[in-house]
Structure 1
Amino acid sequence: MADINQVVIVGRLTRDAELRYTNTGTAVGRMSIAVNRRRRSDSGSNEETSFFDVVLWGKTAESLNQYLQKGKQIAIQGELRQNRWEQDGQSRSRIEIHAMNVQLLGGGGRGDATGNSRPAENRSTYQPSYQNSSNNGPEPFEDDIPF
């Protein structure tokens, strides 16, 4: 059996996305997402928040950067990657989500009165061009679906 490394997460951005470029000119978008979880206990319900670093590459990072604002709710599908380095003689590591698919959801961000930075009928899913869409299910729908 092959190893699987897939994660799907829905949460809110903790800060505006940061867009930078590598030495070769590839766009890299970095952001952090907060995910809330409610837990019930004998003393009531407690809310727990987890924070995750997300990396987005290429034209997808460039296209989405203007919409990825603090408070915006997004859904991310991607894979976990661990970065390792040494600092001051200490081994360090960080796990990041490398996004392959980002969907902008309603609410949050700096937009209109409803909190949407884009109208609902224009929200869509973005997939990087390097992702092979022919091997995983049906092709994505066009935006002009009549229902």
Structure 2
Amino acid sequence: MLNRVVIVGRLTKDPDLRYTANGKAVANFTIAVNRPFSNQQGNREADFINCVIWNKSAENLANYMSKGSLIGIDGNLQSRNYDGKDGKRVYVTEVVAGSVQFLESKNKTASNENKSQSNTPNNNIEPTQDDMSPIDISDDDLPF
């Protein structure tokens, strides 16, 4: 059986870092991931994926990345349930990240967030076509 998830997207808000009673760091966060196609109106839609990461990786994510940061995660999909405060059963499906890659510098993230806030009225954090401009690289520069 195989349960592996690889996602690249932008944080929708700052990661929520907490510690368990045993002192283990855990961070909850949500990543906005663009769908590979446009809807009938020609707009790109996004999925918002709930994630969790543990230990030193959780601390690093919370300390170095913030809302709008482009990250990549590698992990697995997990479902769980518990009784909510109102006594109703709550079901949760999330990606448990085993590793996280920071895909842009903190300074780049801040400039993207400022650009996003000034250019889009709804503060949408999805990457735009401007963020994905082609790179001019010759075949001789490729390592494979």
> What TM-score bracket applies, with the shorter chain setting the length?
0.5 to 0.7
Segments of structure 2 that go 5 or more residues without pairing to the other structure are: 113-142
Q: How much has 1:64 moved relative to structure 2?
A: 2.8
Segments of structure 1 that go 5 or more residues without pairing to the other structure are: 117-146
- Counterpart mapping for 1:17-36 below 5 A: 17-36=15-34
Higher relative contact order (CA 8 A, sep 6+): 2
- Residue type matched to 2:63 in 1? Q
Aligned to 1:79: 76
- Residue type matched to 1:83 in 2? R
- Counterpart mapping for 1:1-80 below 5 A: 3-40=1-38, 43=40, 45-80=42-77
Root-mean-square deviation over aligned CA pairs: 2.4
Distance in 2 (CA, whole Å) between partners of 1:63 and 1:4 is: 28
Q: Deviations over 1:2-32 (max 9, x none)?
A: x211000000000011111000000011111
Runs of 4+ in 1 over 6 A off after TM superposition: none
Query: Relative to structure 2, which stretch is displaced further, 10-19 or 44-53?
Result: 44-53
Q: How many residues align?
A: 112
Q: How much has 1:114 moved relative to structure 2?
A: 7.8
Q: Is the 8 A contact 2:10 2:70 kept in 1?
A: yes
Identical amino acids, percent of aligned pairs: 41
In the superposition, the TM-score normalised over structure 1's length comes to 0.66
Higher relative helix content: 2
In the superposition, the TM-score normalised over structure 2's length comes to 0.67
